[in-house]
Chains A and B, each alone.
Chain A
Amino acid sequence: MVVNSSPEVDGRAPLPPALEARSLCKEVSSPEGLLTILDSVSFTVLPAETVAIVGPSGAGKSTLLSLLAGLDVPTRGTVRLCGSDLSGEDEDGRARLRAAFVGFVFQSFHLLPSLTAVEQVMLPLELSGVTDARERAVAALNEVGLEARLRHYPRQLSGGEQQRVAIARAFVTRPRVLFADEPTGNLDAASGDTVANLLFGLNALAGTTLVLVTHQRELALRCQRRLNLAAGRLLPE
């Protein structure tokens, strides 16, 4: 288990860690009794760090991601997101923190079938009441090279293009932390490379913290750190 100390940049007040997990446990009941999915997981992720969560299927990677993002609550333990304790918040409080700090990219893209590409990207901006949502969405799609696909629906886009729309949607709110769940898992090698380049490029540009779950070794190696999960426990880095 590795605990990083908080960085001090140019002598200014230290920024809180992007993520702090303390003794995270997740248990669920099953027909066979209580099932432990995560067992005493602790670590810290610094701002602008890139971290890959890796491990075999069933190791608890996606569960960990959902706890870190406040999508689910741990059975025991705490998570601090950008300095705020998620376990002290109810669902709506966690939602507010997500709206303030977090972006997501998913394996299956999660684009809404009734929205065009530009509307997909506008969605989080509209939710936070931004007035120039369309302009910013168009700019974000330009950044991922989809300026010619603004009015296309998901069914009219290839898998790679859909994921690029999802990346534009994730980055458009300038989140402090970006969670990506198998972002290239559904893509061919070429599209996967494009998407990965975009993720890391935008991350470097915006100073976003990137936490991604992946099975792909190449993608994991591009991250600064790798957290290895096996049977719900974190292996030494």
Chain B
Amino acid sequence: MKALRFAALAYWRDLRAGELAVLITALAVAVAALSAVGFFTDRLARAMAEQAGEVLAADLRLESGHPLDGNGRYSAEATRRGLATARVLSFASMVYAGSEGHLASLRGVSPAYPLRGRVRLAAEPFGPAHEAAGAPPAGTLWVDGRLLASLGLPVGGSLTIGTRAFTVGAVLDYRPDQGSGFADLSPSVVLGIDDLESTGLIQPGSRATWALLVAGTPDAVADFAAWLKPVHGAGERLVEAREASNQLDSALGRSARFLSLAVLATLVLAAISVAITARRYAVRHRDAAALLRCLGSSRRFVFVVSTIELGFAALTATAAGCLLGLAAQWALARLLGDLLTGALPAPSWRPALAALATTMLIMLGFALAPLLELSDTPPARVLSRNLEPRRLRHGIPYVLAVLALMAILVFLLRDTRLVVYAALGLGVAGIIYFLAGLGLVRLAGRLRGSAGVAWRYGMANLARRQAASAVQIVAFGLGLTVLLLLLVVRNDLLREWHASLPPDAPNHFVINIQPGETTALHEFFRVHGIAQPTLYPWVRARLTDVNGVAVGDLRLTSERARAFAEREQNLSWSATLPADNRLTAGAWWGPGAGREPEVSVASEYSEDLGIKPGDRMGFDVAGERIEARVANVRKVRWDGFRPNFFLLFRPGVLDSSAGTYMTSFYVAPAARPMLVQFIHQFPTVTLFDVDAILSQVRSVLDRAALGVESVSLFTLVAGIIVLLAMVEASQDERRFESATLRALGASRSLILISVATEFASLGALSGVLAAAASTAAHYALSSRLMALPYHPDPWPWLIGPVAGTLLVGAAGVLAARRVVNTSPALVLRAG
């Protein structure tokens, strides 16, 4: 109790004297970053779930080739669990405008459709669209603009489906479950499910799909899925939203990983600040500890008091950090704005508790050792100031730091492999920094030369405190490394996003282009001022055998492998490696390659079917057998909105089998009406409009980018705090030295220059090491953590040494300036 009261007093006094300002600020920034990012990643996860839900227009979908849920058991159970439900019946059929017919994908929906996402309607084909809810009124249809354009039918016109005639109520611009692939080749017609059932088209044995859509809170949906799995019929298939992939997954996953990386960097920087400030606290409190012990306090009392005092500091920092984090959360919530459809939950205590736990871990790992040493200050120090506490043995401080760091990594990353990588990386970097720093410091010591007394004194100082200088290099170097690493990874991420979705990213796909239409198509694009797109040949084929083993006999372990083996595949050919592709094995065929048929496979194909360069694959192309040798494996970026193929052949192999061509192109919003003309001119080609999906992806990416930028700010602030901590710590070290030098007649400028020399050299050395380390870590992280291609980035090699020299040099001068502005007499007299 006495210790608590005494620690509270000591805390209040130290706080008033500004002794703990840097420590508290460093921890507060770490806590703020942690809580704000926790919130942000949580929101991102929700955004991803929402986006995934849109692909199904629900969170869960049960579908079957026959009417399901005949007795209403599933919907009743879902409703009982507070879940929303809707029904969808879909099949393909001919629809007629007068005598003109066209194949259409009919979708009968119940009024609650869609449960996730919104339908968008327009007044005319390819005109501006607005959001709508529910099913079309009885007797009316929402019809795909392509179908209307093709039939020459206006809104308000009549369309016959089966035995009934309907009125076209609106143009269907977008429905959430339309998908971005080519699953539904025919244009959609949406109508009420009762209307569709009344058309007489559904007969026993009809090829239709009946689906039940379910949506609600994640827990309730998961519970319902668990209930449904064992009871649903054999022919009924359950699809969950998180299984439905979309283009956002990789981008959002990356940004979440980047944010984790940023928090980790912030925490490492905070830990460095805490280590520096706690050591400073211990050094500055040695006299007080000696006095307390001289006045009769036990070693334990001194330890308990200083521990409680720093505990108070941690609590203050956590409280301040949480407040800051709350403010940042509020800002991020506004930033995400319309992206999130659900209401935001009230801030809970959990992030605050997590932040407190992290703060305590940092304190335990990085402040405990100096406190233990402090409590061991010999009381006789009151008589002889050169008596210092014994250093802890057996590397205890380092063991504590490593353990705390591991605990934080586990807490933050929750991925054992990643924790081991990160811990090993940090550990190895720390040791290499220390050894390299020691070597560089020794080398620098030899460079004293005769460049003037200030330079000589600065370099001599550096060399005199070899171990201390090397430790400073480790601290500066680690700080600079995480900042540089974050900078290059952030650049990669933003560059990747810009590259994947430039403003003129293709927003329309065209398939089924007949070979005879290609010239007319090029001409159409020329007339309408659209950049000439590359036409990709498109051949449908089945895989028959791999290395002489029939596909039926292959051991296939995954759903995707079975799909590759059993379904028709889209083949194409190309003379050059497509832009979104990167070779991972084998070599691309040159123009003069031999005549042997060769095929290039995507990495997914290679992984799922175990195919590698040199293997032989057999295909059935429209009844003709083609065998090709696997020349290489490609990593394909599927989120670039450009046509890509799992299987690409060398030109010349498939030429005789060429079926149709496909391409993608960009149409500006104002030019969209010309698509009506396009459909009239090319009635057999199939046009896909992915503009809506594209803008959705773009808006998510923009916000994710903004989030990444703002969180990087926290890390930058943490880096600046490390510098401040160094300033404060070195200020103490230099007080007496500078005063003595000035007493001996050194001018203020000489001291400033010598300190600047010493610090700038330290900074430059740290900068060089940081550039090397961040380059290595960048290489490792790009492929393993961020799944990005590695681009060598020269910036760290410039920014590292320059920023190191300037920032650390400036920090040193700042520290020395306050010292030289104090009268040397005062400093020396104060003892």
Indicate which residue in A62, A92, A124 contacts B384 across the interface (CB closer than 8 Å): A62
Collect the chain B residues with CB atoms within 8 Å of residue A95's CB.
293, 296-299, 379
| Chain A 146-191 residues near chain B, CB threshold 8 A | 154-155, 159, 181, 186
Collect the chain A residues with CB atoms within 8 Å of residue B6's CB.
126-127
| Chain A 37-72 residues near chain B, CB threshold 8 A | 62, 65-66, 69, 71-72
Residue of B293, B380, B826 with most partner-chain A CB within 10 A? B380
Collect the chain B residues with CB atoms within 8 Å of residue A222's CB.
none
| Chain A 92-125 residues near chain B, CB threshold 8 A | 92, 95-100, 102, 104, 106, 108, 110, 112-115, 119, 123-124
- Contact check, B295 vs A71: say whether CB atoms are below 8 A apart: no
Collect the chain B residues with CB atoms within 8 Å of residue A66's CB.
380, 383-384
- Contact check, B17 vs A114: say whether CB atoms are below 8 A apart: yes
| Chain B 369-403 residues near chain A, CB threshold 8 A | 378-380, 382-385
CA A104 to CA B296, docked complex, whole Å = 11
- Contact check, A92 vs B299: say whether CB atoms are below 8 A apart: yes
Collect the chain B residues with CB atoms within 8 Å of residue A124's CB.
295-296
- A31 at interface by CB-CB < 8 Å: no
Min CB–CB distance A46 → chain B (angstroms): 23
A98-B296, A113-B17 given; A71·B380 CB < 8 A: yes
- B414 at interface by CB-CB < 8 Å: no
Min CB–CB distance B824 → chain A (angstroms): 15
Binds A, one of B176-184, B284-292, B532-540: B284-292
- A14 at interface by CB-CB < 8 Å: no
Indicate which residue in B295, B383, B385 contacts A65 across the interface (CB closer than 8 Å): B383
Residue of B9, B14, B294 with most partner-chain A CB within 10 A? B294
- A135 at interface by CB-CB < 8 Å: no
| Nearest-CB residue, chain A, relative to B18 | A114
CA A107 to CA B300, docked complex, whole Å = 28
Indicate which residue in A96, A112, A119 contacts B296 across the interface (CB closer than 8 Å): A96
- A11 at interface by CB-CB < 8 Å: no
Collect the chain B residues with CB atoms within 8 Å of residue A110's CB.
287, 291, 382
- Contact check, A92 vs B300: say whether CB atoms are below 8 A apart: yes
- Contact check, B295 vs A127: say whether CB atoms are below 8 A apart: yes
Min CB–CB distance A225 → chain B (angstroms): 21
CA A91 to CA B379, docked complex, whole Å = 9
- B452 at interface by CB-CB < 8 Å: no
- A129 at interface by CB-CB < 8 Å: yes
Collect the chain A residues with CB atoms within 8 Å of residue B293's CB.
91, 95
Min CB–CB distance A112 → chain B (angstroms): 5
CA A104 to CA B291, docked complex, whole Å = 9
- Contact check, A99 vs B295: say whether CB atoms are below 8 A apart: yes
A66-B383, A91-B299 given; A108·B291 CB < 8 A: no
| Chain B 1-60 residues near chain A, CB threshold 8 A | 2, 5-6, 9, 13-14, 16-17, 19
- Contact check, A112 vs B298: say whether CB atoms are below 8 A apart: no
- B830 at interface by CB-CB < 8 Å: yes
Indicate which residue in A98, A115, A128, A129 contacts B294 across the interface (CB closer than 8 Å): A98
Interface size range on A against B = 35 or more
A62-B383, A71-B382, A106-B382 given; A112·B287 CB < 8 A: yes
Collect the chain B residues with CB atoms within 8 Å of residue A129's CB.
2
Indicate which residue in B2, B5, B296 contacts A102 across the interface (CB closer than 8 Å): B296
- Contact check, B292 vs A127: say whether CB atoms are below 8 A apart: yes
CA A92 to CA B298, docked complex, whole Å = 5
CA A159 to CA B831, docked complex, whole Å = 12
Min CB–CB distance A159 → chain B (angstroms): 7
Min CB–CB distance A211 → chain B (angstroms): 13
| Nearest-CB residue, chain B, relative to A96 | B296
A65-B383, A71-B379, A72-B378 given; A114·B296 CB < 8 A: no
Indicate which residue in B291, B297, B299, B379 contacts A112 across the interface (CB closer than 8 Å): B291
- B829 at interface by CB-CB < 8 Å: yes
Collect the chain B residues with CB atoms within 8 Å of residue A104's CB.
294-295, 382
A112-B291, A114-B19, A126-B6 given; A106·B383 CB < 8 A: yes
CA A99 to CA B292, docked complex, whole Å = 10
CA A154 to CA B2, docked complex, whole Å = 26
| Nearest-CB residue, chain B, relative to A133 | B9
| Chain B 774-831 residues near chain A, CB threshold 8 A | 826, 829-831
Min CB–CB distance A219 → chain B (angstroms): 18
CA A128 to CA B301, docked complex, whole Å = 12
Min CB–CB distance B525 → chain A (angstroms): 77
Collect the chain A residues with CB atoms within 8 Å of residue B288's CB.
112
Min CB–CB distance B303 → chain A (angstroms): 11
CA A71 to CA B14, docked complex, whole Å = 26
CA A97 to CA B5, docked complex, whole Å = 22
- Contact check, A114 vs B383: say whether CB atoms are below 8 A apart: no
Collect the chain A residues with CB atoms within 8 Å of residue B378's CB.
71-72
Indicate which residue in B297, B299, B382, B385 contacts A99 across the interface (CB closer than 8 Å): B297
CA A97 to CA B294, docked complex, whole Å = 10
| Nearest-CB residue, chain B, relative to A181 | B383
- Contact check, B19 vs A108: say whether CB atoms are below 8 A apart: no
- Contact check, A98 vs B287: say whether CB atoms are below 8 A apart: no
Min CB–CB distance B828 → chain A (angstroms): 11
Residue of B19, B293, B383, B830 with most partner-chain A CB within 10 A? B383
Collect the chain A residues with CB atoms within 8 Å of residue B19's CB.
114
CA A126 to CA B831, docked complex, whole Å = 26
- Contact check, A119 vs B13: say whether CB atoms are below 8 A apart: yes
Min CB–CB distance B305 → chain A (angstroms): 10
| Chain B 269-317 residues near chain A, CB threshold 8 A | 287-288, 291-300
Collect the chain A residues with CB atoms within 8 Å of residue B831's CB.
108
Collect the chain A residues with CB atoms within 8 Å of residue B829's CB.
159, 186
- Contact check, B294 vs A127: say whether CB atoms are below 8 A apart: no
- Contact check, A72 vs B380: say whether CB atoms are below 8 A apart: yes
| Chain B 679-697 residues near chain A, CB threshold 8 A | none
| Nearest-CB residue, chain B, relative to A120 | B291
Collect the chain B residues with CB atoms within 8 Å of residue A154's CB.
830
| Nearest-CB residue, chain B, relative to A73 | B380
CA A186 to CA B9, docked complex, whole Å = 30
CA A203 to CA B299, docked complex, whole Å = 30
Min CB–CB distance B359 → chain A (angstroms): 23
A92-B298, A99-B295 given; A114·B287 CB < 8 A: no
- Contact check, B297 vs A127: say whether CB atoms are below 8 A apart: yes
CA A71 to CA B385, docked complex, whole Å = 13
CA A62 to CA B382, docked complex, whole Å = 10
Min CB–CB distance B690 → chain A (angstroms): 66
Collect the chain B residues with CB atoms within 8 Å of residue A98's CB.
294-296, 379
CA A108 to CA B384, docked complex, whole Å = 10
Collect the chain B residues with CB atoms within 8 Å of residue A119's CB.
13
Min CB–CB distance A169 → chain B (angstroms): 9
22 sampled A-B residue pairs with Cβ under 8 A? A62-B383, A65-B383, A66-B384, A71-B379, A71-B382, A72-B378, A91-B379, A95-B293, A95-B296, A95-B297, A98-B379, A99-B295, A106-B383, A108-B385, A115-B13, A119-B13, A126-B6, A127-B292, A128-B296, A129-B2, A154-B830, A181-B383
Additional A-B contacts beyond A65-B383, A96-B298 (9; CB < 8 A): A71-B379, A71-B380, A96-B296, A106-B382, A106-B383, A108-B385, A108-B831, A114-B14, A114-B19
What are the 3 A-B residue pairs with the smallest beta carbon separation, nearest first? A99-B296, A114-B17, A92-B298
